[in-house]
Structure 1
Amino acid sequence: MTGAKPTNNVVLIVDDAPETLQFLCDALAHEGYTVLVARDGIEARARMELAMPDAVLLDAVMPGPSGFDVCRWIKQDPTRAHVPVIFMTGLSDTPHIVEGFAAGGVDYVVKPVRIAEVLARLATHVRNARVSRLAREATDIAGKGVVLLDGQGRIAWQSPVAQRALAGWGETDPGARLQAACEAGLGRIAIDDEQELTLRVLGSAGLNETMLLLEASARSRGTSRSDPAAQSRLADAALTRRETEVLSWLAKGKTNRDIADILGMSPRTVNKHLEHVFEKLGVETRAAAAALASRVMGED
């Protein structure tokens, strides 16, 4: 069309209402988008098997699979989970909105749609998804993987490198273990006698999500190796960052007064932290706690 603005972005519109399809197709084509069309959930799946769109405009209520079902199908496969889904719905009640976000949608517009609003939201989500994907791919090229943890310690997203690294770990609930390791301040997690995961927290990545950078590598030779069982025990204890610092200095043979001076707190506060550490680790003495910490740090 004359005056179209080339974007090279592909949008899949899924709606069983012909008037909505025609209206959106014309408007998006005029903005330079390549438009794919599906009239129900089954057609939507078929289109996505053939071509990967940059975004999906999805009707919530359709014959056959609902839009919520289609969104869940999109998000369950890592190869297409990055595609932003924007719901179009006449269902403006809170439970329906919540269901849309729970299914994996990033946004919603209420019918009858206003094209200016759709274009603004679409452009923002396509841009954000592309930037995020490029960043994750660049990270993978560097040999490291990226993991997003939600507020419950579940893996919300993982890059291909991270997925392979965690598969080699063989942990039944890797998200919870990663979160526990982060809270305990652990920078390494033993996979077995030969391999380890190097872990780094990159910070917040969205609504109550934490981004982690990790890499599977051979454990260093020529140094004492940490004890996997001790690492697991320390991770499961979920020590706070301050408790981890106190335990680390305790393992180095420091007294309560030494630790207090180093960390800028009173000896009484150090003692209170140690009481919590002992309770969480299930030990009764300073020596037992120090020995456990030393095995984790791989020190003799």
Structure 2
Amino acid sequence: MLNTAEQEAWSFLSKAPHYAAPDEVEAHFGRAIAAFGYDRFCATLINAEQLGREPPTLARRDFDAWDARYWGERHVVHDPCIKLLRKSGRSFAWTDAKPLGDNRARAMWGEASEFGMNDGYVVRVFGPAGHEVLIRMATEATTTDPTARAVLESLATVFGTIMLKHWELQDDNPDYGVISQRQTQCLYWASRGKTDWEIGAILALSPRTVHHHIEAAKKRLGVIKRQEAVMKAGELGLLVKVG
């Protein structure tokens, strides 16, 4: 029989793909990891060559103050977690990284404790088109329960994958205009004879996401075929290179 934490985890894993809004996904993810003692989290979009820069945030709960300190003090320069991230794509706890640090890193851990963050768990999620989502979870506990690691990794992987999907589709329902900026971009490159794969490479999207945007544009333009969408967008003066 599942205990309370396991029930929360199973509930999130089974229902997460069906949540309609990012806020709903965040709320249920937060409840799931809280059952394992993790009360805060942050999901950021990164690339391997940009680990030293503050990345765009996909979701965040109670990480604002620490991140302001972390980047303000340039802790990224001596953070041993960066070493593990560069070395491998495997998930790890802060306690795994601490032995790799120097005196400056130990001072950083001390500051994190002042924020109520004594240990954390880091999961790297690899998405399409070279996207990577970094999920950081923190707890007041001094160590991460070894038996919880696999579950935390599963929860974070599903969470990161879904948040990345929402990020890719964020321009799909514009408040103004005939078609969204992302749809315009896709049709522009389609008018240049580019395939979904080629458009995805140009715009850093998965081919499946490109196809979704073009299908959405077809519906908004009231046409059936891709070429018809390109022609109508051209007639409306929408085929301009955006971004």
Q: Name the TM-score class by shorter chain.
A: under 0.3
TM-score normalised by L of structure 1 = 0.23
The structure, 1 or 2, with the larger RCO (C-alpha pairs under 8 Å, 6+ apart) is 2
Higher helix share: 2
Larger proportion of strand: 1
The structure with the largest alpha-carbon Rg is 1
TM-score by length of 2: 0.26
